[in-house]
Amino acid sequence: MQDLLNAATLGSIYLLFTLGMALVWGTIGILNFAHGATFMFSAFIGHVVTKHTELPFLAVIAIAVAVGAVMSTLTQLLAFQPILKRSKNQHAAEMRILIGGIGVAAIPLAIAQRYTRSSPFGFRSSYDAEVYQFLGLRITTTALIIIVTGLAIGIALTVWLRNSRQGLALRAIGVDAETSAGMGVNRPALALGTMAVAGGLAGLAGALLTFHLGAIAPETGDTLLIKAFAIVVLGGLGSMLGTVLGAYILAAAETFVIFMNWGTWVNAVSFGLIFLILLVRPQGLLGRKEVRRT
Amino acid sequence: MSDWYSMNVVLIQTTLTTLLLALSIQVPLRYGVFSFAGVGAFGIGGYTGAMAMVHGEWSTWPAVLLGTLVAGVCTFLLGLVVQRLTGLYMGMATIAFTLIISVLAVNGGDWTGGAMGLYGAIGEITTMHIVLAVLIVVAFLAWTEYGRRGRKVDTVREDPELANALGIDVNGYRRLSFLISGLIGGLAGAITTLLRSTITPSEVNFHLVILALTAIVVGGARSWVGALIGAVIFVWLPTFLSFVQEWEKVAYGFIVAVAAIYLPNGVLGVVKDLWHKSRTRDERARVAVGLQEKS
């Protein structure tokens, strides 16, 4: 049971991280490789700020969310928009966005590695996690906050995308960008907004994970990125509910592998999952069939 | 000349092995296949070569050959499995393949030396040998870029439907690109490993993918010349600019991002464009003069 609880915490972190990536990729069609760096750098800025002044829990979270949103917006403005403007077709744009994202991601990573000498960093905060005992289960307040926030935001985003006008516009872009633009959808503005939300979610995940573990390493973002990809592929591109399910399934599978004492194989779970799903069911658990040709 | 050579022998060797690695990623890109399996082949080739030397007590060249062949076969089989994927999905599946290789290496026990890596594969490889290997590979690639064959490959990349309609076996070409990529990647891995006498699982990771990709993107993705330009830039830049050394990784990230935005065809593409422009300007000037004289 304790393991299930740990899996739920891990899954919620995965969920918060992946939601942003899945939202951006599933709607405006950008696979943001700098998402992991945004995640890490938001927590890193939190670390630098709290080094000078001690801050309460919510203030650190707010800083991380703001940094994430700003970074993500800047990435969109300075890198992805110029690329989209200069690309002939979808295929070429996809590849250049991927490479551009890799380049952008290398910059904050290098800065953080240089500053911390590649050692893990944490926050200095007035916040103290309390441990609750409940039916023989141990849970910290941080873990509780993570689980609740993850689920709440996951469900809220799913509902919003399904029911709101902006959600409809975003989904329309995901199906056919040109036609939706013809129908009066303001793609650049929506793309910026979506990227900002995604960055904010990455920042939130970064801060929460750092509070939960005490410290994270600068390279954490890279590993998470591949896992997030596995989750999106598993759940199905464009399906927020699929992302929610995928995050918890991956977390459960990884916890199971650790539980069986096969610790060194943990990373193989997500990599193997990518493979398996792409071969057996390329549209994912809940995804729609690929609408785009080739 | 010989002084300069002996001072920079390591850099020269690194340039050549980086070039091989970059080529193993570039070949599938030229065929329109977004595959990073070459880096996984690098790991397979390196480990196979090292294991053949350490456990099988093979000599250098049979070990290199074995590494190359095993990597080629494995990557070809991967190609058969993933060939119906496209675009980003293909990219991520092959990245997953590469990372699985490193997980396998960590869990290989005595065979692969676990997380510490495999030591003591001291091969007898000189710079001449590497130059020879690179020349063979480059000659082969240049042959595939030339004339009819080159145009076929270009069509397969730019417009697969058109290629199919013209009777070109697109899927065959794509499978072939996996085989070539695996062979070159395996060769690069085996040579690099036996040159340094060690290989560790942490070498076969995401950053190796980035290095190879960076070299191609900055140099130019259409021709082996681009990969050469990229490899030279990325191995030699830090030695010329000391301030780059300090902020090396930041500078690299910046260069990659800028290249992705403004130079989709890399340095080679810019050079070709300029050459083309200056040639057509001369031509136009001559035509204009000719017209004036007539009237």
* Domain-embedded: residue A205: yes
Q: How many residues does chain A have?
A: 294
The pLDDT of residue A222: 82
What is d(CA B25, CA B105) in angstroms, rounded to the nearest whole number? 21
Q: What's the pLDDT band for B1 if we cut at 50, 70, 90?
A: low
- Is the CB of B256 less than 8 angstroms away from the CB of A103? yes
- Alpha helix segments (H runs only) across chain B: 2-7, 9-30, 37-54, 60-82, 87-106, 127-145, 147-158, 160-165, 170-196, 206-219, 224-240, 242-246, 248-262, 266-294
Mark residue B4 as left, alpha or beta (left: phi above 0; alpha: psi -120 to 50; beta: remaining): alpha
* Domain-embedded: residue A114: yes
* Domain-embedded: residue A186: yes
What is d(CA A251, CA A1) in angstroms, rounded to the nearest whole number? 14
The pLDDT of residue A19: 92
**Range from A36-50, B14-28, B265-279 carrying the lowest mean pLDDT:** B265-279
Nearest C-alpha of chain A: how many angstroms from B52? 25
Q: Which residue range(s) make up the domain with A12?
A: 2-218
Pick A264's closest partner by Cβ from B34, B86, B106: B106
Q: What's the pLDDT band for B261 if we cut at 50, 70, 90?
A: confident
* Domain-embedded: residue A31: yes
Express each pLDDT in B162-178 by its tens digit.
Answer: 988 988 898 999 999 99
- Is the CB of A106 less than 8 angstroms away from the CB of B100? no
The pLDDT of residue B181: 95
Mark residue A123 as left, alpha or beta (left: phi above 0; alpha: psi -120 to 50; beta: remaining): beta
The pLDDT of residue A290: 54
Considering only residues 111 to 170 of chain A, which have any Cβ-Cβ distance to chain B shorter than 8 Å? 111, 113-114
The pLDDT of residue A197: 93
Q: In order along chain A (294 residues), what is the average pLDDT of each group of 10 residues?
A: 85 92 87 91 92 85 93 92 82 82 88 85 77 76 89 91 88 82 86 93 93 86 86 85 91 88 79 82 70 42
Considering only residues 14 to 73 of chain A, which have any Cβ-Cβ distance to chain B shorter than 8 Å? 31
The pLDDT of residue A293: 38
Q: Hunting for tokens 């779970």 — which residue is that? A: A269
The pLDDT of residue A209: 92
The whole-chain average pLDDT of chain B stands at: 85
ipTM above 0.90, yes or no: no
Contact residues on chain B for A275, CB-CB shorter than 8 A: 93, 96-97, 100
The pLDDT of residue B245: 63
CB B113 within 8 A of CB B198: no
Q: What is the largest CA-CA distance in chain B?
A: 85
The pLDDT of residue A294: 35
What is d(CA B195, CA B49) in angstroms, rounded to the nearest whole number? 11
Nearest C-alpha of chain B: how many angstroms from A79? 7
* Domain-embedded: residue A112: yes
* Domain-embedded: residue A275: no
Contact residues on chain B for A226, CB-CB shorter than 8 A: 92, 95-96, 99, 206
Q: Quick one: DSSP state of residue A263?
A: G
* Domain-embedded: residue A109: yes
Express each pLDDT in B73-93 by its tens digit.
Answer: 999 999 998 887 877 788 888
Question: How many domains is chain A partitioned into structurally?
Answer: 1
How far apart, in Å, are the Cα atoms of A154 and each of A19, A77, B3? Answer: 7, 26, 64
What is d(CA A130, CA A179) in angstroms, rounded to the nearest whole number? 53
The pLDDT of residue B243: 63
Nearest C-alpha of chain A: how many angstroms from B86? 7
The pLDDT of residue A73: 94
CB A283 within 8 A of CB B84: no
Contact residues on chain A for B100, CB-CB shorter than 8 A: 268, 271-272, 275
Pick A278's closest partner by Cβ from B85, B210, B217: B85
What is d(CA B98, CA B109) in angstroms, rounded to the nearest whole number? 19
The structure's pTM equals 0.84
Nearest C-alpha of chain A: how many angstroms from B260? 5
What is d(CA A73, CA A104) in angstroms, rounded to the nearest whole number? 12
Tell me which residues of chain B have a C-beta less than 8 Å from any C-beta of chain A. 34, 81-82, 85-89, 91-93, 95-97, 99-100, 103-104, 106-107, 115, 160-161, 206, 210, 213-214, 217, 247-250, 252-262, 264
- Is the CB of B88 less than 8 angstroms away from the CB of A233? no
Express each pLDDT in B174-185 by its tens digit.
Answer: 999 999 999 999
What is d(CA B139, CA B173) in angstroms, rounded to the nearest whole number? 19
Q: What's the pLDDT band for B295 if we cut at 50, 70, 90?
A: low
- Is the CB of B250 less than 8 angstroms away from the CB of A110? yes
The pLDDT of residue A292: 47
* Domain-embedded: residue A290: no
- Domains along the sequence of chain B with CATH: 2-294 (1.10.3470)
SS3 track for A264-284: HHHHHHHHHHHHHHHHHCCCC
- Is the CB of B255 less than 8 angstroms away from the CB of A103? yes
Strand ranges, E, within chain A: 131-134, 137-140
Q: What's the pLDDT band for B10 if we cut at 50, 70, 90?
A: confident
